[in-house]
Structure 1
Amino acid sequence: MFKNYFKIVFRNFARQPFYSFINVVGLSIGLAACWFLAMYFFHEKTYDAFLPNANRIAAVALDLKMGDMEGKTTNTPPPLGARLAEYPEIETTARTFNLGETLVKREVKNSEPLIFNESGAVAVDSTFLDLFGFEFVQGNTNALNSHLGLVLTETTAKKYFGNEPAIGKTLSFNDRNFTVSGVLKDLPSNSTLRFDFLLPTKSFRVIENFDWSWIWLQMDTWVKFKKPITETNLAKLEAKLPEMVQKYAPSAFEKIGMSWEDKMKQGDKYNVKFLPLTKLHLEYADIDSRLSTLGDGKQVKMFGIIGIIILLLACVNFINLSTARSIKRAKEVGVRKALGSSKGSLIGQFLVESSVFSISALFLATIITALFIRSFNELTGITFTISSLYQTNVLLVVLILPLLTGLVAGLYPAYYLSKFDTIDTMKKSTGTGSRGFSSVRSGLVVFQFTVSIVLMLGSIIVYRQLSFAQNSKTGIQKENVLVINNTRNFKSISEREVFRQKLLQIPEVKNVTHSTFLPSLGAFNDFYEPEQGSQANAVVQNIAISSYLTDENFVPTLKIELTDGRNFRANSQSDSASVILNETAVKAIGWKNPIGQWMRYPGNVNQRFQVVGVVKDFHLYSVRAAIEPLAIFHESSKTYQTWGSYMAVRLLPNTEKAGIEKISNIWKSSIPNVPFEYDFLDKSFARMYQSENQMASILLVFTALALFIGCLGLFALATFTAEHRTKEIGIRKVLGASVMGITALLSKDFLKLVAIALVIGSPVAWYFMNQWLGDFAYRIDIEWWIFALAGVTAILIAIATVSFQAIRAALMNPVKSLRSE
């Protein structure tokens, strides 16, 4: 019996190759899209699952309110780890400290040294390796017990030592030698922690200097619990922690002249929280963190839903065409029933046929995914391999879905036709009695185009918001600004100033400034106390302020607008006690006449600064965040120390190539042992929208796929409708109907369905995109013309798809049309 089923399947395929081809291709594209997105979905959902004790590890966070600043952060103070280790629920604690840009050098016998400027160096406690349980290639968890120990990843070891054993070899970090004591297996792409070098925290005096401070939030703290983490045991431990904070934090605040009790009475808070590692990647997108791997759970969920929807669209096509074609086989069903076929055997025939088609689509999808995996990698920024496609959880989804599709696609038409009497099924071959199928097909077409319109509207809105973000005025002129990002390797400020003066002699260079940080490249954050009134001891509640340490060239180089007061003066000793604020800082403090007012920095024994200027607000980061209070201090103030050190060089337009070449030559002669590395400020701003750009690209690709699959089905249904109404078209032509009239007749029903889809899809798209735009402090408005554009586009696509077959049918010779039936 099954042999007979397969014979009929292949005969039908040969008799109707057009429909069979569209069925298989449409479903295979849907399966391939779902396959890719399932791979991406499980990659994001299984972050850190490779760690042996991931369910017992948590990041420590602070739930803070300090003046006007409020929120959660994984930035924690140095002493917190040791205090948490005192609790019996916790097995191990470890701290990490990002070392920023670091000059790494390896001396090579009889050759030039290997020198690289690295950003993947992290200082960690000796307990770090035991806490996380990373897999070693060489060495063990005691590798960082020595003050000068060094652990590398496998790829980094090959970069510096080739195929030689790395253990026992020496690398220099900013002219300090460390000896390799361990090599770790490379971390997978779904690891929250990313690093190339691990060095002991006890080798860095800056950490030791702040071991007392509960305000210097420059470290990340990690804990491993003795038991798997649950909401209950986290809540119980967190309830004990306010007592610990109350015991240790007040003395640190008093040391810098701040009263802990007064701050708490004013409504401030300082609560310690735990963020489970298994949830960290996707559930804390809005937290302030140095971790660059934190993702967006909503976005991942959205792409998972899009993958399912794309597959549904392909399945809808498959079911739609299967049901449409099965009507033409009503006579076959009637003959089979007349010859004694049972209802079960008829259902079996249809199920086998649809299963063969769906399995064929799966094989084709396998080829498509292998061919396009590199393109998908470029789209997501993740390096997937062929083996990633065949992970167990991904394969389960990919194998189950086509089987279900085949079952549904075969079961509905089989059950529908097999339940009629023989005479009824013979009648259906003439086209009567097919309203049940017609209404189902119409509903499925509406569903397809509703989804396509929602995705289209989403793509338009995402691209408009990105365009707004990337092209909106940031308050600075970021174009033509070259950023040199490792200037802290100059041995002295005077050496750096000599280099700056040499750059100013280049004809292509207009201005040069040095700063600890630049817009889009971070800032130093701390609390300041604005003074009110004429008394030096009259202060208001402290506020959180971001700041730069820079020179008198900062404002003119970035072309920042001064709205009040003056810029720093060259060689002015008094400006070591001066500060320039932005408009937001002035508003936050509440000064009506800020020039001449004073503010204190408790973090440096209440060092005082007088406001000499106010600049117009400019964006420090992306438009996702509101502009925050900013202070610009002159570098001569030496108010704090930070690893940041950048030089911004404003070049004349269209002189970039010549300017970079000349600057590179001066760099090599000034500081020959340090690689010359540069970037452009506008590109740095653009990179802040990397996740949004990836989202937009993925949306665009899958919107195109949704439209293609929808049009594929629409084209096939239009062809089927034209064939089904061949006699009617012939009669109409004999009676004088025009080609345009017949084309309109055949097209109008489909266009009505697209119009219904537009009505349904528009409010759905508006709701979800309005939610997405809510994450941006500065955003576009969703205007009516966006919906009009999407609607017109969908209708034009539908017209183009349907009219080809409609015109072809209308041009057919009526004699042939009438003869065909």
Structure 2
Amino acid sequence: MIQNYFKIAWRNLLRNRAFSAINIAGLAIGLASCMLISLYVIDELSFDRFHEKADRIVRVVFKGSMQGGKFNEAHVMPPTAAALKADYPEVLDATRLRQGGSPIISIDDQLFTDNKMAFVDPNFFQVFTLPFAHGNSKTALADPNAIVISEALARKFFGDKNPVGQLLTFKGSRDKARIAGVFKDIPRNSHFRFDIFASLINSGEAKSTSWMQSEFFTYLVLPEGYDYKKLEAKLPATVRKYMGPQVENAFGMSFDEFEKKGNMIGLRLQRLTDIHLHSDFQYDLGDNGDVRYVYIFGAVATIMLIIACINFMNLSTASSSKRAKEIGVRKVMGSEKRELIWQFLTESTLVTFLAMTIALVTAIIALPLFNQLADKNLRIDLQTLPALCLYFVLFGLFVGLFAGSYPAFFLASFKPIAVLKGNISSGFSRNSASFSMRSALVVFQFCVSIVLIIGTMVVYNQLRFIQNKKLGYDKSQVLVLPDTWALGKNQEAFKEEMLADSRIAQVSSSGYLPAGPSYNNNYSIYPEAKSTELVKTLRYDVDFDYIPTLGMHILEGRNFSREFGTDSSAIIINQTAARMLGWKEGALNHTVSNSDNAGKRSTYVVIGVVEDFHFRSFHEPITPLVMVLGKGSGTTIAKIKTNDIPALISSLEKKWNAFKPDLPFTYSFLDDRFNETYKAEQKTGKILGLFAGLTIFVACLGLFGLATFTAEQRTKEIGVRKVLGASVPGIVALLSKDFLKLVGIALVLAAPLAWWLMDKWLQDFAYRADIAWWMFVLAGALSVVIALFTVSFQSVKAALMNPVKSLKSE
């Protein structure tokens, strides 16, 4: 019997090739889209779950607020790990990590760069599951000069040889490092990825007892099933115990007085598995994701699948009139309704598996493009294939039964006497209800499409707002050379050679940049020696040329000048800092002070107020900032004035190489660094735009199915109208208006939903564009035009039919 079902199903597909192709194509697009987004969602949710103790590890983070801004940092103070382990028995183990940059490594007179390094405690590999290919993970970092490297780095340095015991030389260090182990490459779904781990045993900073400086990423191992919130509730006492005396020493007031001023500082805990999707911390170890986008793309995948199934239902019922007599004859010959239902479910399952096969091939082909859009490295390989095949079978059965259930029961409900007489309309049970059902499904499809169209427009409108908003500095034609520290004593000579080039207008040295990766710090000041009136700021160490090079504007006073020897104790503040300090006007010649951890005070005279500029992303409001004269930096910034960028870069590279530094010449542009800040929003806009287009296309297939069904139902009516003198445009308008009503209803439903969703998304920006009315008009007009074009094809075909054939009795 089952074999017979499949044989009839296959014959029916071949008999209606065009319709079957449309049906399979719509389902395949929906399934392929769902498959790709599912890979993305699964990858995002998998971060850090490969560690054996993943559900027991928490990270200690630093949160707080002071007048002028908030503390929201992923790293904490050096003694935090030891203090928590000593004070709380539920802390079974604690380990730390400190970033070590990208050192220059020398092996047999060869120099290697771009290898990320971190310093960790010796027990790091007992907390995190990073299997070793060579060496003993438990003792590898017991030696102060020991390091462990990744398999990829071992192959790069030593080929296929076991490198354990080999010595490496780090540029600038007298001691050689001994390779004590090789760990297997860290998976991509990890919140940290390093090539080298070195021991913290000899680090002076690691032994520091200061609770007023941070930079140590600290992780705790808790008992199985323990609620980390219980430990978090005890941490305020720890902060008061250890940090309180140091706060009093630095700021001249007790911890209670500090808090009474409205200040708040404290430690919090974050689960390891939450780091990637639930982090908004500064100074984190990498670019984290955002759980909101997982929800958004997960919803898009689900909706795409639902729309594909809806199309299947619409197209199947639209073709039902062609099989009405077949069903009538089967019922007369004794076929039961149950058998007909199984027949049509078999057909839907067959179509689904054909669509799944096409979807799988499409997903594999489209995966590189999707990886580029989503900034991922997703793969379908031999390791994932068994699970994918199981998913393939189960998913195919589910979709086949789900999508085919409505057409199966619908088609099996035909009344045999009515359909054999040619009265197809009366052959449907509850005909008006079934038509309303299909209309509702079309409304749902276009409602989703309109929401995605409006969402895409809002995202791109916000990105355009960011690009066009006044930043307070000029990011155009600003060249950034990040590694000029490698020139050593020749850095100033290189800068002079740059200034001698007529294509370069200004040159400055500072690691503090208003866009992209930048030096950061926490700095607190107070006005006129009033130490209890602390204001949190960011401090920029700059040179004399920094402000003119970046095109910033001095509103009051002047820039730093070589003509004033006292400028070493001068300070320039931004407008927000002046306002926070109580000087809305007349900030010049006031003094501000800063106290270090030991309570030593430094006092500066305000010589200028710079116009507020955006030195963080548009997600954050502008906060107080101060500028002081620094001692120089390893980053060089140049304002250029030429359109022949390649020639200038080539010239600078030759000058760089003439000094024979250990690092290759690297550069970037400030506007590119600015755009990189909004990579997540750009990615979201591209993915939403892509799936909005696919959703509209699949929805149009459903609309085509409904138009086909309606035209076949009204064939005789159209013939009568044409005999009585109705024109082709009039008939097209008659058949189209009902569908345009459906699109209109979809727009009415979609508009408030789209506004609510995108308003929630925009709330994450401190500076945002408005949701304009024209977006809804444009989305509606676009939907109407697309729907009209889709329906008109079938309407014109029906209107041009010979009325004699339409009225001829069967």
Which residue matches 1:153?
A: 150
Shift of 1:90: 1.3
Shift of 1:528: 2.0
**Map 1:418-817 → 2, pairs under 5 A:** 418-419=412-413, 421-426=415-420, 429-432=423-426, 433=428, 434-492=431-489, 495-520=490-515, 521-532=517-528, 537-570=529-562, 572-592=564-584, 593-603=586-596, 605-636=600-631, 645-817=634-806
Name the SS of the counterpart of 1:524 in structure 2.
coil
In 1, are the aligned partners of 2:106 and 2:170 still within 8 Å (CA)? no
2-structure distance, mates of 1:388, 1:787: 46
Cα 1:419–1:258 change in 2 (3 A) is: same
- Which one of the candidate residues 345, 353, 357 is aligned to 1:359? 353
Which residue matches 2:260?
A: 265
Shift of 1:401: 3.7
2-structure distance, mates of 1:389, 1:325: 41
In 1, are the aligned partners of 2:418 and 2:424 still within 8 Å (CA)? no
Which letter maps to 1:379?
Answer: L
The range that moved more, 679-688 or 196-205, is 196-205
In 2, are the aligned partners of 1:36 and 1:389 still within 8 Å (CA)? no
1:210-239 deviation per Cα after TM superposition (whole angstroms, max 9, x unaligned): x122121222111112x13543xx232223
2-structure distance, mates of 1:117, 1:10: 58
Shift of 1:815: 3.5
1-structure distance, mates of 2:678, 2:616: 10
Which residue matches 2:159?
A: 162
Which residue matches 1:113?
A: 110
Which residue matches 1:641?
A: none
Aligned pair count reads 798
- Which one of the candidate residues 358, 362, 378 is aligned to 1:368? 362
Which residue matches 2:182?
A: 183
Shift of 1:421: 4.7
Name the SS of the counterpart of 1:787 in structure 2.
helix
Which letter maps to 2:90?
Answer: E
Shift of 1:498: 1.9
Which letter maps to 1:178?
Answer: A
In 1, are the aligned partners of 2:307 and 2:699 still within 8 Å (CA)? yes
Which letter maps to 1:485?
Answer: P
Which letter maps to 1:759?
Answer: V
Which letter maps to 1:383?
Answer: N
Shift of 1:60: 0.4
2-structure distance, mates of 1:375, 1:451: 24
In 1, are the aligned partners of 2:317 and 2:411 still within 8 Å (CA)? no
In 1, are the aligned partners of 2:509 and 2:546 still within 8 Å (CA)? yes
The range that moved more, 34-43 or 329-338, is 329-338
Which residue matches 1:130?
A: 126
Name the SS of the counterpart of 1:386 in structure 2.
coil
Cα 1:599–1:677 change in 2 (3 A) is: same
Cα 1:572–1:442 change in 2 (3 A) is: same
Shift of 1:671: 4.3
1-structure distance, mates of 2:387, 2:603: 60
2-structure distance, mates of 1:308, 1:435: 29
2-structure distance, mates of 1:806, 1:624: 50
Which letter maps to 2:196?
Answer: F
TM norm structure 2? 0.94
TM norm structure 1? 0.93
The range that moved more, 50-59 or 563-572, is 563-572
2-structure distance, mates of 1:4, 1:723: 29
Shift of 1:396: 6.1
2-structure distance, mates of 1:503, 1:409: 68
1-structure distance, mates of 2:263, 2:240: 13
Shift of 1:364: 1.2
Shift of 1:745: 1.4
Which residue matches 1:98?
A: 99
Which residue matches 2:61?
A: 61
Cα 1:178–1:382 change in 2 (3 A) is: same
Which letter maps to 2:620?
Answer: A
Shift of 1:455: 0.6
1-structure distance, mates of 2:76, 2:405: 60
1-structure distance, mates of 2:191, 2:77: 20
Which letter maps to 1:181?
Answer: A
Shift of 1:114: 2.7
Shift of 1:779: 0.5
Which residue matches 2:9?
A: 9
| Structure 2 unmatched runs, 5+ | none
The range that moved more, 652-661 or 328-337, is 328-337
In 2, are the aligned partners of 1:475 and 1:560 still within 8 Å (CA)? yes
The range that moved more, 478-487 or 124-133, is 124-133
In 1, are the aligned partners of 2:78 and 2:205 still within 8 Å (CA)? no
Cα 1:353–1:571 change in 2 (3 A) is: same
Shift of 1:812: 3.1
Shift of 1:720: 3.6
In 2, are the aligned partners of 1:78 and 1:213 still within 8 Å (CA)? yes
2-structure distance, mates of 1:214, 1:505: 47
1-structure distance, mates of 2:3, 2:530: 95
Identity, % of aligned positions = 39
In 2, are the aligned partners of 1:115 and 1:675 still within 8 Å (CA)? no
In 2, are the aligned partners of 1:482 and 1:679 still within 8 Å (CA)? yes
Is residue 242 from structure 1 mapped to residue 241 from structure 2 by the alignment?
no
The range that moved more, 780-789 or 351-360, is 351-360
1-structure distance, mates of 2:48, 2:149: 19
Which letter maps to 2:183?
Answer: L
Which letter maps to 1:198?
Answer: F
2-structure distance, mates of 1:379, 1:820: 56
Cα 1:609–1:649 change in 2 (3 A) is: same
In 2, are the aligned partners of 1:664 and 1:676 still within 8 Å (CA)? yes
Is residue 297 from structure 1 mapped to residue 291 from structure 2 by the alignment?
yes
1-structure distance, mates of 2:440, 2:788: 18
2-structure distance, mates of 1:27, 1:8: 21
Name the SS of the counterpart of 2:425 in structure 1.
coil
Cα 1:258–1:299 change in 2 (3 A) is: farther
Which residue matches 1:39?
A: 39
In 2, are the aligned partners of 1:329 and 1:429 still within 8 Å (CA)? no
In 1, are the aligned partners of 2:97 and 2:118 still within 8 Å (CA)? yes
Which letter maps to 1:600?
Answer: S
**Map 1:178-257 → 2, pairs under 5 A:** 178-208=177-207, 211-225=208-222, 227-231=223-227, 234-257=228-251
Shift of 1:22: 1.1
In 1, are the aligned partners of 2:591 and 2:603 still within 8 Å (CA)? yes
1-structure distance, mates of 2:293, 2:389: 22
In 1, are the aligned partners of 2:503 and 2:641 still within 8 Å (CA)? yes
Shift of 1:203: 4.5
1-structure distance, mates of 2:455, 2:635: 38
Shift of 1:599: 1.5
In 1, are the aligned partners of 2:508 and 2:546 still within 8 Å (CA)? yes
Shift of 1:428: 7.3
In 2, are the aligned partners of 1:328 and 1:429 still within 8 Å (CA)? no
Shift of 1:199: 1.8
1-structure distance, mates of 2:163, 2:232: 43
Is residue 330 from structure 1 mapped to residue 346 from structure 2 by the alignment?
no
Shift of 1:399: 4.1
